[in-house]
């Protein structure tokens, strides 16, 4: 793994020289420089300009643009242009185009119109990347690459995917007998008697075998990884000095981000918090989760490759314009939670194309306005604090385990009305954030050393490895929280024939006697202090087998039955939450656990105000962010100095609308 | 018509030996025996195990399973496996797969993926049935057969259906001139000038000719009947001692159930009342209608082939788990209304496949729990009362006429916002059920002898035969209730050019001067006592021509116009209800009519409590069922003895949640 | 341009002789004559009767029908039958059928199943029209033709459309370089490197290039025009004495009605106001707009070719039946707003086909009832006033500019949640109608001479010509109202790189500093009198550059910023409304402007009562219409005489439900 130069703390912009008359370039770059911009991403959609017809490569325009960036001291990240195969490719080699399960074609004229398994896409994609990489491998301005753009699952059912899937299945299972057994195809006479009968799930019916559907997702995840790897191999070979990243977007995606990121140096995220006041109660928290999840992809700091710069809008009606301060505050939120470089999308709104109203920093009029001024302020602040921030990291003692496989399996078979894997994670993460507890969000297969608290939501698919990892965590003194719908299936999406929660029963010291999928109905939960809370979605009726009940149901035929238990395991504890408790309960539970586990809390955070810490050799940097339109007051427990203004702060501090404070302990 | 052995009153289970390791079979069968199970349905989805590849028949495993049932004294019903053609059939003979109106294929990998007219399906389906029938015709455990599984309309538009439909149309109408005239194709230039222009309704547009759409439904109904008949003919020939049934499901279906059942010995129903408390106000009543409708299919007792055993769930979120007592109470409701054998679906929840969460009596853990214990109690009770119950029947003096043809025609052209043929039948049936009036639900073409009350909802399509049947009923002293949208069309879905209600005007003594499709708006109805009721959907403004008005509209421009009339006809009476009156009005009207017609009522039934009677040589068995989660009190007008407990009961009796009483008059 | 005979003020009916047994014809025509009917439309769906098989023409039946009309003195308009190609066409020449963007076929068996560019449709359509025209060119009863029926956009993506579109694009742009530049295809690598890459927008994705999507709409508009022109050319040549019209319907249509009407003598509209009381608050106003828009198509009086006669209903549930007086009142509303001939759809409800429940004047029973009596009254009244009405016209000094191009562009890229181009026009028109101000609704490219007030909603696409036209209007003393989202794009749907509102800034004396797409949120507007109003959808933050602010925002970060400005320009004024103000604000603003501009107002109109004037040599005819179910009172400012009854009226006058008054000033 090579590549460096991605650890600077800095601000950048996404710029499309090909969209503008060349006479506008130098004024643009000059203004970037003056505003404090340090890095620019280019070319990720420019295939038709780089290779206007088959084999006709034209890099001159990009040379001139990159030379200009270099002249002004800006560094450049180049995107590989495979997300937008040009029309000469798709018209001549239509196997590039994905095919939906019902046979319709995903036509060109948009973006993302490419099957990851297409032979033609691989051929022409590799060729343009080889040329680009060779051309810019030693350009002094170029520091790294972005693969493709915003990968997502297409569930392609083209003939090539069909063939490749068949081969994938054969490689995984070896024999038809094994395949039939592991997928349980005997149900509904779905048994395969010949390999040619194995196909992608045509028709896209949810009635299909869930083991097939999950493996088909796995195949598509691996197809995407293999597609990216074909690019990474070229870039590593030709540009060994450059780093490689990919810009993930819009969580939750049906995507194996962790698998993709194994081939990358650094992860990136495209961050578009919704600026509507109607989203003010949720956007700061779902955004925080997205950032923590991105940091968890490689368990290190990351990039924002596209950051909100104005009202998004496109084929959908435009969103609200960002309130004064909002653009800057969300950029600082990203940095607080581990972003080093924040690249704003985009320098100027596009005058043409489907994204005309996905606004950039500068409007179509090319008159810099309020938003641009705020951006320039941000650049100045970041550049001023860069040396302080560089090398600092987020250190969390709590983790939430995220799994794209659980998410996929739970979408294939929704368990209860209103139950959503990712929405539930949002709730747990939001409770931690409101308590001011720093939390990592990592892949469920990651090692858990160092965590004092691990929340493992709905480990629905499971195996001994998963169970033993959590057991080890608890044995070492950690606190593990399991929830309902854990231990239901083996990894091939087959129900295990043992009491729930399967292998996790050992650690949890509990078994599920019976369950009731209560769905959207509200039910009652009663804790040891006889406090009442709401619960919904699911009610496991628990039989403690060593564990101690700490909450019980308050109604229905299972009133009085244990709903939440805690089990001492090794020197740690394992909680089992048999129902979907409301946020109030989680706040109470996590607060108590945090005190026990000696996690750092920030008491008294108002709604929409977040506290988060980056830690470096010189100590902690405490970020206080007011992500609301109204002034809020927080109480400081120590004496601090503001890194932004130098002011000394302590006790109650008022944060104006979208105010940002970066505080260092007064020594 | 041969076949016997289907009149036992008993409990069974659906069992899939092919889903489980053979080592589990004998423990399962032993537990069935111990619990009181008497009958098992097998093999209806097992084609891929019975014929793993073309012409390779393997019945050994089923022999071993059926021998085991025999060893423990259980009887067996075998399902023909045509609802799930295996992959070797569909991949090699793709004409088996249905084609939607827009050309998309209904792919395999699910169930029900078979066109009833497919030549290959008929060929391979007949062959496997011939083999199965021959193999098990004289096995001592085997008593009967279920054809296919849960027939439904697929509206297939494959080339074969297209050709067969053309032949069907030609056979029905003979000449193009006759066809064009009977369908009124001149409208919008839809005339056929050559037989090859006759096609199925490609595109599926509701704008198409309604006569074509109705005949296309008829063609598909007959295709399904012909498909089943091809199976029945084999079974009758090879297994003359066995009975034949089919398991209908989820009313209303677009299906000619009465036509299908003409080839069967006994009808069966798959009964899954929704256990949610949010459905408690409706599920007991829609369930009662389903049971009465099933009993009406052959006008005799029936089977439940699949009975609720746990929370259903699958590709949709799981339902609530059944409340304690609910499984048992709904099984007794089925028996009360004419089920003899009740087969529970399924023994144990499937570990694999799309129906993993359609829960059986035993969970995946294979630990029998609360639901299983309740089931075992039920088995004991049924076995204890079997000799008392066998031979008893439901005797009703009231009937509702149901017609799959009216239902289809009214779906092709919805008349008014909120008007639904089957929902309206639910209302009339619910009113009767709340009054404790026993009611048959029979095909509208059935003879009406013996009925004192006949409700004939919306006989929209009509002919002289229909009119004369009702006239005969009234002449003989019966009470007939007609509703709006009667007599609108001839049987080819063409509007008749005479005043409404067409031929029914004679019996009703009324004609419709004008109508107003008021849809979902609420309007007022005023009866002779000046009581006000709500009405909606439709307002016929009536002109009495011999009939006497008994209710009038209370608002809008037709305020004061007659809305409901009654006409003396022969020694009976014919009501015409020109609007959709609310449940209150129906309760009042039916109560008065019941008193006049000397129908048996059960006064004072609380919501969710149902009373129903089975009658045999030894007298009446009165079933009292509390289908709610709370205790309810009913008043008994006589002295009774409980057949379940032997207790003597009279006066006010409290029924606990989901309590069941079976009462015999104290002699 | 030839053709006359379309300026009579009269009532007609749509009649389908081919639907009825010939024995019914003469009784029908006799009753028409007796009722006062003067004109009949026939044959627009009768292709299969006129040409039962290829080349086999049979006009005898139509001869007999038209001779019968002639015998009774009725005049005849013939519809060209191309909206319903018969089955022998579509089965033998399937290129007639449109193809959707996803490849599905728009199958026959309905109506409108014809691609305007189909070679076979053009060939066989022209042939039948040539024959029909030749046959009836000199029939004394025949006075004119209707082209096809209710044109609408099909967005056909068949191979022919694909080829024709490519040719159209090539003809418009000449070179690929020019095309790529004008569409901005470089975005997302959408550049064309060869003409064969240019296709219709397969897939129908809204993500596609908006310039392509707009030009594809233009191509389809022109295809429809060319299709009609191919018919008009024949009719003009063969029937030079006849007039030609087309019946438009259901606004807003995605259609270039103004372009289509350039080839016509007179425009026609199919008018089906919804009779539901729930639509009473809106139907009279959206109806008024439809009529004014139709009058604006050729800026002269028009026909109603289909007028409401009973409850519509079909593949959708039936609507309410018309309240007593409603049919007549809406017919008079049409005449008031410029209809000369009003043809009712239809004589008698169809007994067959998909439109059985689209009720005519007479029900299926063929017994004329309440609705028919009302129609006969209408005929008598119209015939009585015909000489008074003929030659009168609507003279408006206010106009709203409507543009099918703006509408299309704003649908391709919706700007803000809840913002709809046509709905906004409805609001402005409704405010004018409630104030009693007569208003034309004309194409935005029309000359504006004579108008004192011009409302130009969202001229989103623009050019210098558009700007100069409005400038000229203002310079000459007119008042121009511009709204937000003006001057955003050039005519190729590319954003202009200048401050908003683009070229309109000169006249408006204002520029948009920033905007906020507030969507469905309600915000506050404050006027000079500190009155508060609601606004929504969009908030332009205005920077006056010569204009005077007259309203400001009342909340959010832009509180206090100008929202509405007025600029003196020449001897006129230009308003710029930067937000979507509610109806209250528009009533206030337009009232003030009307006083300034000396427009005629009718003060104190109750909700649902409309006043409108036709002017002739003999003076004004003031129509007062109560389009509600309750009596309403209006105050007359002069002494009038009722043209219908001769009564003298002045001061407060009560109008009964659906009452109609036609008043002449007492001299």
Gap between the Cα atoms of A389 and C594, Å rounded = 64
Same structural domain, C114 and C150:
yes
Radius of gyration of chain B (CA): 26
Tell me what pLDDT residue C4 has.
60
Confidence of residue B205 (pLDDT cuts 50, 70, 90): confident
Domain boundary among C538, C573, C597: C597
What is the chain B residue with the closest CA to C91? B197
**Pairing mode, strands C619-626 and C609-616:** antiparallel
Domain boundary among C368, C388, C408: C388
Provide the CATH number for the domain around residue A45.
Answer: 3.20.20.80
What is the nearest CA distance from A580 to chain C, expressed in angstroms?
Answer: 33
- A660-665/A632-642 β-pairing: antiparallel
* Integer angstrom CA distances of residue C547 from A637, C452, C510, C569: 54, 20, 6, 9
CA distance C347 to A660: 74
CB-based contact, A207 to chain B, within 8 Å: yes
**Chain C positions in Cβ-Cβ contact with residue A321 (cut-off 8 Å):** 514-517
Task: Give pLDDT tens digits for B256-285.
Answer: 999 999 999 999 999 999 999 999 999 999
Q: Does C95 touch chain A (CB under 8 A)?
A: no
Q: CATH code at C427?
A: 3.40.50.880
Query: Are the CB atoms for C403 and C459 separated by under 8 Å?
Result: yes
Q: pLDDT-based confidence at C91, cuts 50/70/90?
A: very high
Give chain C positions within 8 Å (CB) of B414.
Answer: 316-317
Is residue A107 within 8 Å of residue A30, measured between CB atoms? no
Look up residue A22 and give its two tokens. Answer: 């060349």
CB proximity C88 to B under 8 Å: yes
Give the other-Cβ count within 10 Å of A136's Cβ.
Answer: 21
C369-409 pLDDT tens trace: 999 999 999 999 999 999 999 999 999 999 999 999 999 99
Residues C643 and C543 both lie in one domain? no
Partners of A318 on chain C (C-beta within 8 Å) are 415-416, 517, 519
Quote the percentage of chain A above a pLDDT of 90. 98
Spatial distance between the Cα atoms of C401 and C440, rounded to a whole number of angstroms: 8
pLDDT in tens, B467-507: 999 999 999 999 999 999 999 999 999 999 999 999 999 99
Residue of B100, B179, B188 best to disrupt the C interface, most CBs of C under 10 A: B188
> What residues 349-378 of chain B have any CB closer than 8 A to a CB of chain A?
349-357, 363-367, 369-371
Residue A320 φ then ψ, to 5°: -60, 155
- B25-35 and B370-389 helices cross at what angle (nearest 10)? 50
| Catalytic residue selected from B108, B182, B306, B355 | B306
Residues A611-632, mean pLDDT to the nearest whole number: 97
CB within 8 Å of A425: residues ≥ 6 apart: A289, A400, A402, A441, A457
Q: Is residue B122 included in any domain, yes or no?
A: yes
Of A32, A34, A23, A45, nearest to A347 by C-alpha is A32
Same domain, A83 and A18: yes
Please spell the DSSP secondary structure of B307-341, one letter per residue.
E--S---SSSPBPPPPPTTHHHHHHHHHHHTTEEE
- CATH number of residue A629's parent domain: 2.60.40.1180
Quote the CA–CA distance of B473 and A516 in Å, as a whole number.
50
pLDDT band for position A206 (50/70/90)? confident
Interval C241-264 mean pLDDT: 97
Q: What's the pLDDT tens digit per position in C191-240?
A: 999 999 999 999 877 789 999 999 999 999 999 999 999 999 999 999 99
Residue A658 contacts C, CB cutoff 8 Å: no
The number of distinct structural domains making up chain C is 3
C495 to A323: CB separation less than 8 angstroms, yes or no: no
Does A466 map to a domain? yes
Looking at the structure, do residues A130 and A18 belong to the same domain, yes or no? yes
Domain annotation covers residue B247:
yes
Same domain, B587 and B615: no
Q: What is residue A315's predicted lDDT score, i.e. its pLDDT? A: 82
- Choose among A102, A186, A416: nearest Cβ to B49: A186
Spatial separation of the C-alpha atoms in residues A439 and A296, rounded to whole Å? 10
- CB proximity A237 to C under 8 Å: no
- Convert C511-524 to b/e letters by CB count within 10 Å (16 or more is b): bbbbbbbbbebebb
Smallest Cβ–Cβ distance between A209 and the set B319, B321, B353 belongs to B353
Residue C651 lies inside a defined structural domain of this protein? yes
How many beta-carbon contacts under 8 Å exist across A and B? 161
* Neighbors of chain B with 3 or more C-beta pairs under 8 Å: A, C
Q: Do B366 and B434 lie in a common domain?
A: no
Active site residues of A: 150, 306
Of B577, B597, B617, the one marking the end of a domain is: B597
Whether C153 has a pLDDT exceeding 50, the answer reads yes
C471-528 pLDDT, tens digit each: 999 999 999 999 999 999 999 999 999 999 999 999 999 999 999 999 999 999 999 9
Same-domain status, B354 and B422: no
Residues of C in contact with A367 (CB under 8 A): 499
Longest Cα–Cα distance of chain C, Å, equals 76
The answer to whether the CB atoms of C320 and B499 lie below 8 A apart is no
Q: Does any domain span residue B186? A: no
The string of pLDDT tens digits covering residues B364-404 is 999 999 999 999 999 999 999 999 999 999 999 999 999 99
What local confidence, expressed as pLDDT, does residue B4 receive? 60
What percent of chain C shows pLDDT beyond 70? 99
Strand pairing category for C439-443 and C453-456: unpaired
Q: What ipTM score was computed for the predicted complex, to two decimals?
A: 0.96
- pLDDT for the residue numbered B1: 39
Q: Which residues of C touch A107 (CB under 8 A)?
A: 201-203, 205
> Would you say residue B491 lies in a domain?
yes
pLDDT in tens, B624-645: 999 999 999 999 999 999 999 9
B444: confidence class by pLDDT, cuts 50, 70, 90: very high
Q: Mapping DSSP to helix (H, G, I), strand (E, B) and coil, where does residue B541 land?
A: strand
Q: Give me chain A's average pLDDT, please.
A: 97
Check pLDDT > 80 for residue B159. yes
Question: B618: pLDDT confidence band, cut at 50, 70 and 90?
Answer: confident
**Nearest-CA distance from C51 to chain B in Å?**
10
Which one of A176, A189, A497, A555 makes the best mutation probe of the B interface by having the most chain B beta carbons within 10 Å? Answer: A189
Tell me if chain C has a CB within 8 Å of the CB of A23: no
B515: nearest CA partner in chain C: C321
Distance CA B249, CA B263 (A): 18
Three-class HEC string of C198-224: CCCCHHHCCCCCHHHHHHHHHHHHHHH
Are the beta carbons of B305 and B267 closer than 8 angstroms?
no
Q: Give the mean pLDDT of chain C.
A: 97
Counting as contact any 3 or more CB pairs under 8 A, the partners of A are B, C
Spatial contact of A451 and A398, defined as CB atoms under 8 Å apart? yes
With contacts defined as CB-CB under 8 Å, which chain A residues touch C197?
87-88, 91
**Which positions 281-320 of C are in contact with B (Cβ < 8 Å)?**
311, 313-320
Q: How confident is the model at residue C182 (pLDDT cuts 50, 70, 90)?
A: very high
Q: Which of B187, B195, B513 is the best mutation test for C, with the most CBs of C within 10 A?
A: B187
pLDDT the model gives residue C618:
85
Q: How far is CA B296 from CA A67, B269, B440, B441, B456, in A?
A: 86, 12, 6, 5, 15
**Residues B514, B407 within the same domain:** yes
What does the pLDDT read at residue B2?
42
The domain containing residue A549 runs over which residues?
A: 398-597
d(CA C216, CA C222): 10
Out of C209, C516, C517, whose CB is closest to A353?
Answer: C209
> What's the token pair of residue B23?
């080592």
Tell me if chain C has a CB within 8 Å of the CB of B501: no
Nearest C-alpha in B relative to A487 = B365
H or E stretch at A576: strand A572-577
Is residue A480 domain-shared with residue A542, that is, in the same domain?
Answer: yes
Residue B205 lies in a domain: no
Residue A176 φ/ψ region, left for φ over 0, alpha for ψ in the -120 to 50 degree band, beta for the rest: alpha
Per CB-CB distance under 8 Å, the chain A contacts of B278 are: 521
Do A560 and A631 lie in a common domain?
no
C356 shares its domain with C474: no
Region B401-410: what's the mean pLDDT? Answer: 98
A199 belongs to a structural domain: no
Query: What is the per-residue pLDDT for A1?
Result: 39
Q: What is the mean pLDDT of residues C236-264?
A: 97
Please list, in sequence order, all residues whose beta carbon lies within 8 angstroms of the beta carbon of residue A108, skipping any fewer than 6 positions away.
Answer: A85, A87, A90, A91, A97, C190
Cα C481 to Cα A438: distance, rounded to the nearest angstrom: 55
Whether the predicted pLDDT of A219 surpasses 60: yes
B349: nearest CA partner in chain A:
A495
Average per-residue pLDDT in chain B?
A: 97
C-beta separation of C488 from C509 below 8 A: no
Match 């409990």 to its residue by tokens. Answer: B11
H helix runs in A487-599, sequence order: 505-508, 583-597
Q: Provide, as residue numbers in chain B, all residues whose Cβ is less than 8 Å from the Cβ of C357.
A: 413, 415
Cα–Cα distance for residue pair C25/C31, rounded to 1 Å:
10
- Report CA dihedral (C211, C214, C218, C219) to the nearest 10 degrees: 70
Residue that the structure tokens 């496997």 belong to = B128
**Contact by Cβ (8 Å): B148, B82:** yes
A574-604: pLDDT as tens digits: 999 999 999 999 999 999 999 999 999 999 9
pLDDT tens-digit profile of A456-499?
999 999 999 999 999 999 999 999 999 999 999 999 999 999 99
For residues C631 and C501, state if they share a domain: no
pLDDT at C1 over 70: no
- Of all residues in chain B, the one with the smallest CA distance to A415 is B317
Read off the pLDDT band of A4 (50, 70, 90): low
E strands in A15-58: 39-42
For B299-350, write each residue's pLDDT tens digit. Answer: 999 999 999 999 999 889 999 999 999 999 999 999 999 999 999 999 999 9
Model confidence, pTM: 0.97
């Amino acid at each position: 793994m090579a590549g460096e130069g991605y650890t600077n703390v800095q601000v950048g912009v996404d710029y499309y020289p090909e969209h503008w008359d060349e006479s506008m370039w130098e004024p643009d770059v000059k203004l970037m420089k003056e505003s404090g911009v340090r890095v620019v991403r280019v070319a990720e959609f420019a295939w038709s300009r780089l290779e206007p017809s088959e084999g006709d490569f034209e890099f001159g325009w990009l040379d001139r643009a990159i030379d200009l960036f270099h002249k002004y001291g800006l560094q450049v990240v180049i995107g590989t242009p495979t997300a937008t195969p040009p029309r000469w490719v798709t018209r001549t080699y239509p196997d590039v185009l994905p095919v939906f399960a019902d046979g319709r074609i995903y036509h060109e004229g948009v973006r993302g119109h490419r099957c990851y398994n297409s032979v033609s896409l691989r051929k022409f994609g590799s060729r343009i990347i080889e040329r680009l990489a060779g051309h810019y491998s030693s350009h002094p301005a170029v520091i790294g690459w972005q693969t493709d753009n915003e990968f997502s699952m297409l569930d392609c059912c083209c003939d090539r995917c069909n063939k490749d899937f068949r081969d994938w299945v054969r490689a995984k299972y070896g024999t038809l007998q094994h395949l039939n057994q592991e997928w349980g195809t005997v149900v509904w006479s779905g048994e395969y008697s010949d390999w040619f009968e194995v196909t992608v799930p045509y028709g896209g019916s949810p009635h299909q075998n869930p083991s097939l559907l999950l493996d088909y997702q796995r195949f598509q995840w691996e197809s995407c990884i293999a597609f990216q790897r074909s690019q990474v191999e070229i870039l590593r070979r030709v540009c060994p000095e450059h780093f490689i990243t990919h810009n993930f977007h819009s969580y939750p995606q049906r995507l194996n981000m962790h698998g993709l990121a194994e081939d990358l140096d650094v992860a990136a995220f495209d961050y578009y918090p919704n600026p509507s006041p109607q989203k003010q109660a949720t956007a700061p928290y779902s955004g925080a989760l997205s950032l923590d999840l991105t940091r968890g992809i490689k368990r290190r700091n990351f990039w924002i490759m596209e950051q909100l710069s104005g009202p998004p809008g496109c084929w959908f009606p435009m969103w609200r314009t960002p309130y004064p301060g909002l653009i800057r505050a969300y950029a600082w939120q990203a940095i607080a939670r581990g972003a080093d470089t924040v690249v704003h999308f985009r320098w100027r709104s596009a005058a043409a194309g489907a994204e005309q109203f996905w606004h950039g920093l500068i409007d179509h009029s090319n008159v810099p306005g309020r938003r641009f001024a705020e951006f320039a302020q941000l650049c100045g602040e970041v550049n001023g604090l860069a040396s302080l921030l560089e090398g600092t990291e987020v250190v969390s003692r709590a983790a939430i385990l995220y799994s794209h496989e659980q998410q996929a399996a739970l979408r294939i078979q929704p368990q209860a009305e209103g139950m959503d894997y990712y929405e539930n994670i949002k709730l747990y993460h939001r409770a931690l954030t409101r308590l001011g507890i720093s939390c990592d969000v990592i892949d469920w297969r990651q090692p858990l050393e160092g965590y004092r608290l691990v929340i493992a939501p709905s480990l629905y698919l499971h195996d001994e490895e998963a169970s033993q990892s959590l057991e080890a965590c608890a044995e070492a003194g950690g606190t593990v929280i399991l929830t309902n719908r854990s231990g239901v299936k083996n990894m091939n999406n087959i129900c295990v024939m043992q009491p729930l929660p399967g292998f996790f029963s050992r650690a949890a010291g509990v078994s599920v006697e019976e369950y009731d999928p209560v769905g959207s109905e509200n039910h009652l939960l009663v804790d040891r202090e006889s406090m009442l809370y709401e619960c919904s979605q699911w009610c496991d009726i628990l039989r403690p087998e060593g564990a101690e009940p700490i909450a019980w149901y308050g109604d229905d035929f299972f009133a009085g039955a244990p709903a939440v238990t805690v089990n001492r395991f090794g020197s740690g504890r394992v909680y089992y939450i048999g129902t979907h408790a409301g946020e109030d309960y989680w706040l109470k539970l996590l607060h108590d656990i945090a005190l026990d586990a000696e996690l750092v809390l920030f008491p008294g955070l108002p709604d929409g105000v977040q506290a988060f810490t980056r830690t470096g050799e010189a100590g902690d940097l405490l970020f206080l962010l007011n992500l609301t339109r109204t002034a809020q007051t927080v109480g400081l427990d120590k004496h601090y100095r503001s890194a932004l203004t130098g002011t000394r702060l302590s006790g109650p501090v008022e944060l104006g609308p979208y105010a940002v404070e970066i505080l260092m302990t007064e020594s």
